[in-house]
């Protein structure tokens, strides 16, 4: 019995020391800087594990050529070994912050070692840069309770990411890194890549093309300190974070994808069977229950941040991506209508959709979810009614397809 009690205490201690920090900080990023506001078309580039004289200069060259600035999370002994690279990095307008004194996962450190690590890294890197450290990204983005307390004691804020290039993965290639970051990039994102270590052989050749792609899409490429709205995630921002995670899980389960394969598109699209009854389009065309359809989902956090007026300006271009998806995604080629259920029916009506009321039974099911979404994203004012927005495939492609 006594042994079971000790085992129970040990399990509780492990949950408190590793489990909760892993869930709340490492996964949900509570208390960490992980993104900025999406109002401006800007994202933050960050690079880990350098400097390395064999690879970091090429990364700096590509950034300078593209007019981009970034944040480098460096390993203290390497910074001390190559102060000239740190000096060049700072001189070219980049930020240099501590990553580690020893690149060891927090979970396999002693609690005391994990507590001391942020302070040791910050002091050693600051001695090279001549500047106080503000941020700290632990190896692998991993946290224990000691890591959290260590960052606070050192006076640094944890920095995470929203887009991981996975350049370190053994199956990754320069092309896959460029494609992955390009697909996941969105306003306010924090991108993590590596200028040294296993990820560098993919990042170095991928970077010039990736930077050109992002510049071509209108992004300003800034360090974390220059990303508007980049602040630690607090309790008020947690509902939005949780809802975004739920959206991504639902998307994976339902085969819902961002239009054009880009996370900065205002719309997401999935293949479904039309579930409503008694719907007829304005031209008299019936839409029977079970009709193959493409269901439209809004990129709510982006639309909330940029506002309806700017969303209305951007929507036609994003709908052109959606039109290409209708013609190229195999599961969407048979869709006869495009429809959505949302409170944004007035916006979609301006873009060619018909707006129709929903049956009262459907409204009763949707109202609680719609209210939850509005609260999570901080949308004030009276809640508009959820309505059906629908358009035929032919009408949509005539307006937004190739040659329209």
pLDDT confidence of 10, banded at 50, 70, 90?
low
349 has a pLDDT exceeding 50: yes
Cα separation, 237 vs 41, in Å, equals 21
> Are residues 111 and 146 in contact, defined by beta-carbon separation less than 8 angstroms?
yes
Other beta carbons within 10 Å of 401 = 17
pLDDT tens digit string along 308-335?
A: 788 889 999 999 999 999 999 999 999 9
Count Cβ neighbours within 10 Å for each residue of 99-126 and write b for 16 or more, e otherwise. bbbebbebbebeeebbbbbbbbbbebbb
pLDDT tens digit string along 270-279?
A: 999 999 999 9
* Average pLDDT of every residue of the chain: 92
186 has a pLDDT exceeding 70: yes
State residue 404's pLDDT score.
Answer: 64
- The yes-or-no answer on residue 160 being catalytic is no
Strand partners, 220: 42
pLDDT tens digit string along 261-308?
A: 999 999 999 999 999 999 999 999 999 999 999 999 988 888 888 887
Other beta carbons within 10 Å of 308 = 14
pLDDT confidence of 239, banded at 50, 70, 90?
confident
**221 φ/ψ angles, rounded to the nearest 5 degrees:** -110, 110
What separation in angstroms does the CA of 233 have from each of 142, 240, 385?
A: 17, 10, 31
Indicate the range of 23-32, 54-63, 380-389 predicted with least confidence: 380-389
5 has a pLDDT exceeding 90: no
> Are residues 360 and 353 in contact, defined by beta-carbon separation less than 8 angstroms?
no
- The yes-or-no answer on residue 194 being catalytic is yes
Percent of the chain topping pLDDT 90: 75
Indicate the range of 2-11, 133-142, 392-401 predicted with least confidence: 2-11
Q: Which of 99, 194, 258, 297 is catalytic?
A: 194
pLDDT confidence of 1, banded at 50, 70, 90?
very low
> Are residues 126 and 135 in contact, defined by beta-carbon separation less than 8 angstroms?
no
Tell me the three-class secondary structure of the chain, residue by residue.
CHHHHHHHHHHHHHHHHHHHHHHHHHHCCECCECCCCCCCCEEEEEEECCCCCCCHHHHHHHHHHHCCCEEEEEEHHHHHHCHHHHHHHHHCCCEEEEEECCCCCHHHCCHHHHHHHHHHHHHHHHHHHCCCCCEECCHHHCCCHHHHHHHHHHCCEEECCCEECCCCCCCCCHHHHHHHHHHHCCCCCEEEEECCHHHHHHHHHHHHHHHHHHHHCCCEEECHHHCCCCCEECHHHHHHHHHHHHHHHHHHHHCCEEHHHCCCCCEEEEEEECCCCCEECCCCCEECCCCEEEEEEECHHHHHHHCHHHHHHHHHHHHHHHHHHHHHCHHHCCCCEEEEEECCHHHHHCCCCEEECCCHHHHHHHHHHHHHHHHHCCCCCCCCCCEEEEEEHHHHHHHHCCCC
pLDDT confidence of 2, banded at 50, 70, 90?
low
Place of tokens 């949950």: 15
């Amino acid at each position: 019995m006594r042994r079971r009690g000790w085992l129970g205490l040990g399990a509780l201690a492990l949950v408190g020391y590793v489990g909760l920090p892993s869930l709340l900080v490492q996964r949900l990023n509570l208390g960490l800087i992980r993104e900025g506001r999406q109002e401006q078309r800007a994202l933050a580039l960050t690079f880990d594990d350098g400097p390395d004289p064999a690879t970091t200069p090429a990364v700096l060259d590509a950034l300078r050529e593209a007019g981009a600035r970034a944040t480098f999370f460096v390993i203290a002994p390497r910074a001390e070994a190559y102060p000239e690279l740190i000096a060049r990095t700072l001189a070219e307008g980049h930020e240099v912050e501590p990553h580690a004194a020893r690149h060891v996962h927090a979970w396999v450190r002693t609690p005391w070692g994990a507590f001391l690590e942020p302070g040791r890294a910050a002091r050693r890197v600051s001695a090279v840069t001549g500047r106080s450290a503000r941020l700290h990204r632990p190896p692998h983005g991993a946290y224990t309770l000691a890591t959290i307390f260590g960052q606070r004691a050192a006076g640094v804020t944890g920095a995470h990411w929203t887009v991981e290039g996975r350049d370190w993965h053994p199956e990754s290639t320069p092309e896959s890194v460029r494609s992955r970051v390009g697909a996941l990039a969105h306003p306010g994102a924090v991108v993590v890549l590596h200028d040294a270590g296993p990820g560098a052989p993919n990042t170095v050749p991928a970077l010039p093309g990736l930077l050109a792609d992002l510049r071509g899409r209108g992004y300003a490429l800034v360090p974390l300190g220059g990303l508007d709205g980049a602040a630690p995630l607090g309790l008020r921002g947690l509902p939005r974070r949780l809802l975004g995670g739920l959206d991504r899980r639902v998307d994976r389960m339902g085969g819902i994808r961002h239009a054009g394969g880009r996370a900065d598109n205002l719309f997401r699209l999935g293949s479904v069977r039309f579930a409503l009854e008694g719907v007829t389009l304005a031209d008299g065309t019936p839409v029977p229950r079970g009709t193959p359809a493409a269901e439209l989902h809004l990129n709510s956090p982006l639309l909330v941040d940029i506002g309806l007026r700017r969303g209305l300006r951007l929507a036609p271009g994003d709908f052109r991506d959606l039109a290409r998806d209708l013609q190229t995604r195999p599961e969407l080629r048979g869709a006869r209508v495009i429809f959505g259920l949302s409170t944004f029916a007035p916006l979609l009506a301006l873009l060619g959709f018909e707006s129709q009321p929903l049956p009262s039974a459907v409204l009763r099911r949707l109202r609680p979810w719609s209210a939850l979404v509005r609260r999570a994203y901080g949308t004030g004012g009276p809640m508009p009614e959820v309505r059906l927005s629908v358009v035929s495939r032919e009408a949509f492609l005539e307006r937004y397809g190739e040659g329209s």
